[in-house]
Structure 1
Amino acid sequence: MYETLTYQGGVHRHEEMKELIEDLGGFVLQENMLQMDLILTLAVPIEDVDKVREKARELLGKVKVAPMAGTEIAIVSPTLARHHLPHSACDISEYLRRYGAKDNMIGLARGAGKGISRISEDEKRLIEEHDLAVFALGSFEQCIKDKAHLFSDINIPVVVTGSPEKIDLSELPGADAYVGGLGRIPRRLKRGEDIRALRKLVEVVEDILDRRRREMAADPPLVPSILVKTEIENQVPAVKEVYSPTPVTSQLDGVRVKLNYDRYHDEIADVRVSDYRLGDISEIRKSMMYDYILVKLLPESSIL
């Protein structure tokens, strides 16, 4: 079992932390360098967490648990127009990143106005490539209810946010949870009530992701996705030439590889993970996002 952590420290001597993680049999899931500051998202064996904390103290850094690490979350807004973005949806996105999530902002093409809001099949398929979707909606209860058709048949967990404190889930078909206090606000979410609402959202998202992990544990993939990520990075040289953040993004049941599907899917399929060929233990398909490669690991029962 692995514990996911976030390490925050300086660039100086950061290689020592990465070498320790490798020696412990752990993985670096994500690395962000901001001028002289470094943020690492890690997965290390549970029994070795104290060694990582000790090294962080030596390097004058900080370590905290990142319960959403290794997941990819879609933050969906009805439109990209200024009356829906940037404030609440962007602040939700930024706050989830603090807990280790890799999230993507998605604005629907025809979401403006409750009477004409629509979602296309391509948009649904793009959202369903993620582990969970947060639909950041507006300030009026009836408007939120009228837009339930946007997520009613999305086949991943859906969390809806809006301004009203409570909405009965029976009136939001397709939603797994609703979090209030996060409507359209023309300012940054910095006040006390805003932070409390964001913390509530984190609790709800963590609970749903933990539920999914427990469900997967009943019939898990043959190899964990964090190991697949590491092997792709080690065996596919083209990954090192990708300038996008997290060129191989971990998900609960697979990875997203930011390489062109037509050019590289055969090479990805031939990657060796433990004693297996990746193409034999996963479904490899073209992503709806920039023609990237989406690798979805198959459960043991469908292979053995």
Structure 2
Amino acid sequence: MYETLTYVGGVHRHEEMEELIEDLGGFVLQENMLQMDLILTLAVPIDDVEKVKEKARELLGKVKIAPMAGTEIAVVSPTLARHHLPHAACDIAEYLRRYGAKDNMIGLARGAGKGISRISEEEKQLINEHDLAIFALGSFKHCIKEKTHLFEDINVPVVVTGAPKIKVEELPGATAYVSGFGRIPRRLKRGENIRALKKLVRVVEEILDNRRREIAEDPPLVPPIVVKSEIEHQVHAIKNIYSPTPVTSQLDGVRVKLNYERYHKDIEKVKVYDYKLGDIAEIKPSIMYDYILVKLLPETSLV
């Protein structure tokens, strides 16, 4: 069993932390370097968490539990227009990253106005490639209730946010609803905003934990974090990717930021334990930039 952690420290001597993680049999899930600060999202054996904390103290860094690590979340806004996207949606995305999530911002092409808002089939497929979707909607109850067609047939869990208090039963297709957001023309820095963000984190964590329990009832033969590590070691083209998290972990697979047509055969040949990845996973093109989407098959489907 692995514990997911976030390490925050300086760039100086950071390679010592990475070497320790490798020696312990753990994995670096995500690495972000911000000027002189380094943020690592880690998966380490539960018995070795104290060793990581001890090393962090030596390097004058900090370690905390990252309950959303190894997940990819879509933060969906009705449009890319400035009255929809920049404030609440962006702050939601930034706040989730503090808890280890890898999130992607998605602005719908025709989401403006409750009467004409639409979602295309391609946009639905893109959202369904994630572990969970957060729809950041507006400030009026009747407007939110008339936009349920945007998410009512999305296959992954959907969390809707908005300003008014609404019972989730009034929003067909929503797994949960969190109030306290809406169209806020400023950064979410006030007390009530922070409380709403913390509530959103609790709701998302609970949904993801339920999803993990569902997967554990019929798990894949190999964990996604092991697949991520093997792809990074065996597919040399990964080293030429400059995009953050070139191999992104999900609850039931990984997203590889390589062109499907050129590299899908290389991904299929990756050896994980005694298996070839193509034999234990569905490997298909992603809607996102023609990347490669690897969805691990459950054990029972391989019998």
User: What TM-score do the two structures reach when normalised by structure 2?
Assistant: 0.99
Q: Secondary structure at the match of 1:86?
A: helix
Measured after TM superposition, the shift of residue 218 of structure 1 is 0.3
Structure 2 residue 231 is matched with structure 1 residue 232:
yes
**What is the aligned partner in structure 2 of residue 116 from structure 1?**
116
**What is the aligned partner in structure 2 of residue 172 from structure 1?**
171
Measured after TM superposition, the shift of residue 39 of structure 1 is 0.6
Structure 2 residue 74 is matched with structure 1 residue 74:
yes
Q: Aligned equivalents of 2:73 and 2:169: distance in 1?
A: 24
Q: Secondary structure at the match of 1:289?
A: coil
Measured after TM superposition, the shift of residue 82 of structure 1 is 1.1
Mapping for residues 154-173 of structure 1, pairs under 5 Å: 154-164=154-164, 166-173=165-172
Measured after TM superposition, the shift of residue 168 of structure 1 is 1.6
Mapping for residues 21-170 of structure 1, pairs under 5 Å: 21-164=21-164, 166-170=165-169
Q: How many residues align?
A: 303
Q: Aligned equivalents of 1:60 and 1:52: distance in 2?
A: 12
Matching residue's letter, 2:232? E
Measured after TM superposition, the shift of residue 80 of structure 1 is 0.3
Q: Aligned equivalents of 1:54 and 1:149: distance in 2?
A: 50
Measured against aligned partners, the alpha-carbon deviations of 1:13-43 in whole angstroms (never above 9, x if no partner) come to 1111111101110000001111211110000
Matching residue's letter, 1:60? L
**What is the aligned partner in structure 2 of residue 293 from structure 1?**
292
User: Gapped runs of 5+ residues in structure 1?
Assistant: none
Matching residue's letter, 2:14? H
Structure 1 stretches of 4+ moved >2 Å: none
Measured against aligned partners, the alpha-carbon deviations of 1:179-237 in whole angstroms (never above 9, x if no partner) come to 00011100000000000000000000000000000010000000000000000000000
Measured after TM superposition, the shift of residue 83 of structure 1 is 1.3
Measured against aligned partners, the alpha-carbon deviations of 1:74-98 in whole angstroms (never above 9, x if no partner) come to 0000000111010000000000000
Q: Secondary structure at the match of 2:38?
A: strand
Measured after TM superposition, the shift of residue 118 of structure 1 is 0.5
Q: Aligned equivalents of 1:12 and 1:77: distance in 2?
A: 38
**What is the aligned partner in structure 1 of residue 302 from structure 2?**
303
Structure 2 residue 26 is matched with structure 1 residue 13:
no
Q: Aligned equivalents of 1:186 and 1:175: distance in 2?
A: 25
Measured after TM superposition, the shift of residue 169 of structure 1 is 1.6
Measured after TM superposition, the shift of residue 171 of structure 1 is 1.4
**What is the aligned partner in structure 2 of residue 191 from structure 1?**
190
Measured after TM superposition, the shift of residue 292 of structure 1 is 0.2
Q: Aligned equivalents of 1:23 and 1:123: distance in 2?
A: 42
Please tell me the root mean square deviation across aligned C-alpha atoms, in Å.
Answer: 0.5
State percent identity of aligned pairs. Answer: 82
Deviates more, 1:286-295 or 1:9-18: 9-18
Matching residue's letter, 1:198? L
User: Gapped runs of 5+ residues in structure 2?
Assistant: none
Q: Aligned equivalents of 1:196 and 1:168: distance in 2?
A: 19
Measured after TM superposition, the shift of residue 268 of structure 1 is 0.3
Q: Aligned equivalents of 1:197 and 1:35: distance in 2?
A: 30
Matching residue's letter, 1:200? K
Q: Secondary structure at the match of 2:32?
A: strand
Q: Secondary structure at the match of 2:85?
A: coil
Matching residue's letter, 1:78? P
